[in-house]
Structure 1
Amino acid sequence: VSDSEEVQKSRYWMNKEFLVKGSGKNKQEIACFIKAPASVLERLKCDILNHTSSLVVDDSEELVSNVISIECYDYEKLLFPINIAIPFTSCFRGNYREIMVKVIDMNFQSNYLTPISLQGYQGNHKESFAEVKIYHLGVFSVLSCLKKETFTVPKVGLLQKLNVDSRISFCYHPEAFSSPAPIQLKIQPIEPSLVSALKARHDMYHSVISTSALVHVQHPSAQPFNSSVTITLPCPPNPDKKRHGDETEHARAISATVKRVAAPYYPRTVSTSARKSGDSLSDTLKLLGRGNKEEGWKVFDDVIIQNAQNGLVSFELNKHLESFVVIRLSFLLENTYLLLFAQALEEALHSTMANVILHQKRENPYKIVVLLSASKKLTNELQNLHEEGYFGPPEPTQQFPLRQGDQIHFRFRGNISASENGEDFRKVYRLIFHSQRLPRLELQIKEVDEFGNYSSPHYKGTALFYKITREMIPKKWEQTLPYDEYQHQSPLCKLALTLPKHEKLIHRPQSTKRVFSDSSEALWDNLLFWLAEELAEDNTSLFALSLPVRRSVLQLVRLKCPDNLTHQIYELLCCWKKTLPKLADKQQLLSRYLRKSGRSDLSEELRFKWQNKVFT
């Protein structure tokens, strides 16, 4: 390429679609769109690295896109900035979360980029795209993060109401800091159902009524507080007491006069003496917090928390806390239990209950799908699998907690093995949990030993599932799947699966073909199959035949021939015949059962065929 052509390409900007090999049914999928000079686009390479997704998320981050890497063949001729747009799918959760693009370099140094656009079109494609301007290459992912609020506290003080929730405010008094101080806040809401689940699991938390949101704060570490900061935030009152105190509260709101002191800086509060019989009469409020993650949670008994109006509480803080939460109690709880509750609450906030589903294709039991589903989405996922033709058994596993980026490794044991491509029957497979994505693998299974499980009509195997936490995953871009590391680890759960056995056709020379020693046996085999066909035409159920066989025989017949009623009835008739004494009058007995089930016509026809030795 001549210098003039190179200059022209560097001036001409294009929007290029980068396609990569897809997973599952998609042969190709869009990795991203890149807008850059033509000369730059020629030198870029894009790939999907979803197997490394555990390395790109933290506790409060939810992955909502593929993990993509962008590399350059000739870095010296790369011109910045360039624009990339990454497709994503997200369920937005109110005001508390926002979409960000995280970029990580090869040394795992990360940076967050605010999208310049979340538009729904790129070229001819309509979906959500997070578009960012970048100045260096690396590994990119779109995340749903807790929204960060940033503001600066001047020397004259500040009353800051948060955008994510205007009920939450921070009141910094004049001279709170010696110089203007930047503050960063994140609010993590706590659902009442989460608190209820913890109380149901542990009786010792019974006195917990409600909690405020979990607040994360970053103050300048070099600047101590010169004066306390007043914090106001919602902490829902006891609903039982609220109903009782509605009338009292209404009267108090009309008649009470509360003197305001330093109005710009103090929220309106209701003193303890002003409360008589209404809201939260005997409730106790406790502040729990920590200076940093290494310190652990502490109970601040010396902090006085006041009930403000409409379920708000306020308190003054004179030291920096990285995280804090207010807990409302119906009666006093020992600090030891409060600390345990804070730890359990934080763990539950970062965890999601999940299930493993393993289903087989009804039309082809050699095809299976294994997926990891959030428990609250389980019913919908099962319905979607049924529409695709996948059914159990086995049933989904019991639910268990997983954090974002935790992995489930699984392997097969027994007489069944699995493969992704039908050729390479690997030993270990991996599913990585992300609550807003659906980890899924479609596999082919086969028996290991065709002569195994000889006493059963099925080949049998077990899928063993192991939990690998994010901390156990090595921080390197090449993520291999070990096999021997699970020897001393107990499985998280197990699922049993089976494959039907098929009778093999053995081609023998004419001279060695089997003949029945008794011609009546050949006739009976012929008559029973004819009878099965006749009964199947009328959809006769196995129970309607009234044959004296065990229920386990009926279940075995259904398992052996799940989709063929003729074969089910034939197998049932054969099983019944085998239970009879050698000299029993089979025709007379079977005719009686047919008459009893309302098929006198078949009873007469069977008698005629037997007496006249008619082969059908």
Structure 2
Amino acid sequence: MISRLTGEQEDSHSDVPDTCFIRAPMGVAEVLRCEVADTLSCLMVTASEELVSRVIRVKVQDGANVHFPVIVIVPFCARYRSSYRDVAVKIVDGERRASYVTPVTTEGTYGGQRSSFAEVRVYSLGLFAVVSCLKRENYTVPTKGLSLKLPMDPRICLNYLPGSFTAPVMAQTMIQPVDAVLLAAVKSRSDAYHSVVSTSPLLYLTHPSSQPLRRPLTLTLPCPPNPKKNRHTRAKREEQDHQTQPVTQLLNFPPVSDCLPLRLLVVRLLSPLQPCRITSLAEELEESVCCHAATVVLQRRQDEPRVVLVAALPSKDLGWELSKLRAQGFSGLLETSAEISMCEGDQLLLHFSGNITSKGRRITFHSQQKNHLLVYLTEVDPFGNYSSPHYKGTAMFYKVTRGHVENINASVSGHQFLHYSSLAHPPDSLSDSLLLWLSGELSEEEVALLVLSLRLRRSAAQLVKLRAGDSLSTQAFHVLAMWRRGLPAATHQPKASQLAHCLAKSGRPDLARELLLRQAATTRQGSLK
């Protein structure tokens, strides 16, 4: 019998449904309860694992007996899959002991929908999640030796001579690819790695410590060509080596008495590098492959000024992700942080102060999921913004690493990296509605002239085009909003007068007069309140 169990969670922005399926004998599924436990997602990932499903808690109703095994089916959505990674169902019991189960199948039709589902047979209940992890290749090395090409990457070969072990042993390998962009980022942080040109993938090799390696082990690892060589020479060599194996490096390891896990890497150098530097390079690469460059974005719909979308977006796809948000109606004022490094399971905590408040919220970062959160802001004092130009509210964002999440107390700790000001503006300021009206009245040529008149930098104008896309009115609004943010809180000349002066210089004195009239009406309404 198959039963569908559904959990509910407020403000979900996941691509994966909050549902799991149970296949069990008659009567068993009726005593099970399913809950969405995404707030515990930081506990479901370690090392290089990436979460690709919701976190589902399955538990038994009080006093009920369950006869195992039962089959649990969890939907998932893996955006990035490769020959180096695989999916597994991770189960964490009440004692926080984790186990991994390889799915019987990863595709199927459940609930009338064909999609990606991880089906596993289990003998205990607890927290369930599908994680993307590095593929593990388990193999047996007999006493007569073994020559093995790894299925994840056939370019990598292991050659055990006869007598390498006195008895057959079980060994395991994992491969972590190293992207050229990742290597460039590591090199940019330290001049000590200037001579490093390229690297092979990271190879993790584990032998049992009870059996010493008695004969040399030969490894073949792929090493990319030297990109510094002359282009003509490289093209000629590629023509000669067409359809041949990539450049490789043979490594001979002597017998050792203790076969603990090894981390292996081939490095192509322009000049010699100290062994300690190579070791530190491998460690930094190992840490960096688990990190992702992200940009925190705050944006709101023009028709919902007090509802703010907070999103941690991949920096490399920032333009594409912002265009998707615009298609969903988020075209209001855009705030972005500087690029930050986020690892799987790290959290962003929101802390409010001043004249705005909201329920304490957080985002747990997962690289293969939407990291979106809707925040509903309210003013502590609805009239406070009219009493003083300095009476504002601020939203502060803190990054907390996965290892420190469990130690957070009520007083928010971590690294503060972004402020977000209140949506309301003092009476001397220009409201969003006024800027939106003005944005719709300007032509492309007039916007260009206004940028010069407002004395905005060229880089600022280019950033506006990136954020606003092809919409002229949206570009104009971002130009005006950027200029407004750059002004001090209190000036001798009102902001409306400054903007009207710039409009007149740009050839639109009619809009300058209309702006002053609308601003005066807004100020009168504020004073009546």
TM-score by structure 1 length?
0.67
Deviation at 1:112, TM superposition (A): 0.7
Q: Secondary structure at the match of 1:118?
A: strand
Residue pairs, 1:234-245, within 5 angstroms:
234-241=222-229, 243=231, 245=233
1:494 and 1:458 mapped to 2: Cα distance?
15
1:405 and 1:35 mapped to 2: Cα distance?
30
Q: Which residue does 1:175 correspond to in 2?
A: 163
Q: Which residue does 1:378 correspond to in 2?
A: 318
1:70 and 1:568 mapped to 2: Cα distance?
63
CA RMSD of aligned residues (A): 3.6
CA change 1:54–1:173 in 2 (3 A) is same
1:92 and 1:73 mapped to 2: Cα distance?
37
The CA deviation string for residues 321-380 of structure 1, in whole angstroms up to 9 with x for no partner, is: 421212111101233433332232122111111121111221121111112222223223
Residue pairs, 1:238-387, within 5 angstroms:
238-241=226-229, 243=231, 245=233, 310-318=246-254, 319=256, 320=259, 321-387=261-327
Q: Secondary structure at the match of 1:167?
A: coil
* Match 1:499 to one of 424, 428, 433: 424
* Match 2:7 to one of 9, 20, 32: 20
* Match 1:391 to one of 308, 331, 341: 331
The CA deviation string for residues 205-251 of structure 1, in whole angstroms up to 9 with x for no partner, is: 11101111111122111011111110001011212337465599699
8 Å contact from structure 2 (residues 76, 118) kept in 1 = yes
Residue pairs, 1:112-511, within 5 angstroms:
112-241=100-229, 243=231, 245=233, 310-318=246-254, 319=256, 320=259, 321-418=261-358, 426=359, 428-454=360-386, 460-474=392-406, 482-486=409-413, 489-499=414-424
2:306 and 2:240 mapped to 1: Cα distance?
72
8 Å contact from structure 2 (residues 385, 425) kept in 1 = no
* Match 2:516 to one of 572, 583, 589: 572
1:332 and 1:497 mapped to 2: Cα distance?
55
Range 335-344 or range 149-158, more displaced = 335-344
The CA deviation string for residues 408-441 of structure 1, in whole angstroms up to 9 with x for no partner, is: 11111222112xxxxxxx3x32110100011222
Letter in structure 1 aligned against 2:371: P
Deviation at 1:385, TM superposition (A): 1.9
8 Å contact from structure 1 (residues 84, 134) kept in 2 = yes
Range 124-133 or range 182-191, more displaced = 124-133
Q: Secondary structure at the match of 1:121?
A: strand
1:403 and 1:97 mapped to 2: Cα distance?
17
Aligned pairs, how many? 454
Letter in structure 1 aligned against 2:411: D
2:45 and 2:187 mapped to 1: Cα distance?
29
1:502 and 1:117 mapped to 2: Cα distance?
62
8 Å contact from structure 1 (residues 393, 497) kept in 2 = no
1:164 and 1:360 mapped to 2: Cα distance?
44
Return 5+ residue gaps in structure 2 as ranges. 429-433, 451-491, 502-509, 522-529
2:348 and 2:442 mapped to 1: Cα distance?
45
1:501 and 1:361 mapped to 2: Cα distance?
21
CA change 1:550–1:69 in 2 (3 A) is same
8 Å contact from structure 1 (residues 97, 145) kept in 2 = yes
Letter in structure 2 aligned against 1:413: S
2:311 and 2:95 mapped to 1: Cα distance?
31
2:511 and 2:11 mapped to 1: Cα distance?
35
Q: Secondary structure at the match of 1:410?
A: strand
Deviation at 1:540, TM superposition (A): 7.9
CA change 1:485–1:185 in 2 (3 A) is same
Deviation at 1:446, TM superposition (A): 2.0
1:38 and 1:469 mapped to 2: Cα distance?
44
- Ranges of 4+ aligned residues in structure 1 off by more than 4 Å: 25-29, 242-254, 455-459, 500-503, 538-541, 554-558, 566-571, 574-577
- Larger-Rg structure: 1
CA change 1:555–1:181 in 2 (3 A) is farther
8 Å contact from structure 2 (residues 349, 398) kept in 1 = yes
Deviation at 1:574, TM superposition (A): 7.0
Range 334-343 or range 104-113, more displaced = 334-343
Q: Secondary structure at the match of 2:27?
A: helix
8 Å contact from structure 2 (residues 138, 172) kept in 1 = yes
8 Å contact from structure 1 (residues 366, 499) kept in 2 = no
8 Å contact from structure 2 (residues 13, 370) kept in 1 = no
8 Å contact from structure 2 (residues 158, 217) kept in 1 = yes
- What percentage of residue pairs aligned between the two structures are identical? 36
Deviation at 1:145, TM superposition (A): 0.7
8 Å contact from structure 1 (residues 61, 146) kept in 2 = yes
2:29 and 2:272 mapped to 1: Cα distance?
65
CA change 1:440–1:247 in 2 (3 A) is closer
8 Å contact from structure 1 (residues 397, 495) kept in 2 = no
2:319 and 2:123 mapped to 1: Cα distance?
44
TM-score by structure 2 length?
0.77
8 Å contact from structure 1 (residues 462, 494) kept in 2 = yes
Q: Which residue does 1:273 correspond to in 2?
A: none
Q: Secondary structure at the match of 1:38?
A: coil
Letter in structure 2 aligned against 1:483: A
Letter in structure 2 aligned against 1:84: V
CA change 1:396–1:49 in 2 (3 A) is same
Q: Secondary structure at the match of 2:266?
A: strand
Range 346-355 or range 61-70, more displaced = 346-355
Q: Which residue does 1:89 correspond to in 2?
A: 77
1:412 and 1:90 mapped to 2: Cα distance?
34
Letter in structure 2 aligned against 1:499: A
Letter in structure 2 aligned against 1:19: T
CA change 1:568–1:483 in 2 (3 A) is farther
Return 5+ residue gaps in structure 1 as ranges. 1-13, 255-307, 419-425, 476-480, 504-531, 559-565, 578-616
Q: Secondary structure at the match of 1:431?
A: strand
Letter in structure 1 aligned against 2:8: K
Q: Secondary structure at the match of 2:496?
A: helix
8 Å contact from structure 1 (residues 458, 498) kept in 2 = no
